[in-house]
Structure 1
Amino acid sequence: MSEDQSYGPGDFRVHGENVVSMKLTKPELTFKPMTQEQLDDPDSKAEFAEEWMGNVHERANRRAVRILAGELDSQLSLRFEETAQQADWWLSPNWDTIYLATGWTDRTQESLPGQRYLPQLTQLFKSTDKGQEWEKLRWPEDQNINLPALSRS
């Protein structure tokens, strides 16, 4: 797991030697190299390698969800990745079927007058072969799958 950034297993399931994990990741941030003079100057500050890295909203827009799977004693492999700031999943008891719901909001948008929240785009994915192949299911993008039907109205 240490090879997969951001560190940590996320939400995972273990059965015998098999493991499957769903985790949200943040984008990798890098910095411009500093000269020795800059390193010696206590007032000198590191600068991001790319401009978007300094913007909290751009960083939020570049988050993703990953599904990883494999065996405990070996490297887990990436089975699926999708841009998302929120994610929930369901794994069948035999591990064959996985459902993954994702949510993403463009954090660089400004809310319209009278609008309390920015719209969230919701997607629903399904795998029936332990995460090898994925299908995007039909779901109204503007309806958050995690909210009960009564709160959507």
Structure 2
Amino acid sequence: MNTKTTIQIRRAVITDLDAMCDLSDQINAQHHAAAPKIFVQKTNRELDRQFWHGTFENPAACALLACDGEQVLGFITMSWNENTTIPFLYRRRICRIGTIVVSDAHQKRGIGKLLMDGATNWAREHDAVEIRLEVFDFNRNAMDFYTAQGYGVQSHIMSKSLE
């Protein structure tokens, strides 16, 4: 008997907030372990809900979910913006990936690629000419994943602690 599941990518809705917060807790814990001076150890659930809720209120933003039936396996957030103020930059619509996370139990199954493909489609539907994202230097697995998806380094964000 074939028990193969089909992963569906769909737009998130308000009732998905708890599932998004659960996955956000997972990725936040991973980021806190790698960069405890940047990421808090545990976040306030209500503040998380408010943060992710903002995705639903912004007409230039979207959250997509990867689902197996009713089970949420991952999500991606993105938004677009267009330069209208900096005179030495072209006016181009850019899609920015905010967060992408796949549950630990479902990694290495192509779900991240499906989410990135969904984000690419959304960006094209909104006339974006480019997709950008930021990844922390400690997250080598993510960098390898993005490179495999065709992303390359465009700039570097550098920091210096003053503490």
* TM-score (normalised: structure 2): 0.28
Return the structure number with greater strand share. Answer: 1
Larger Rg computed on CA atoms: 1
Return the structure number with greater helix share. Answer: 2
The structure whose RCO (Cα within 8 Å, separation 6+) is larger is 2
* TM-score (normalised: structure 1): 0.29
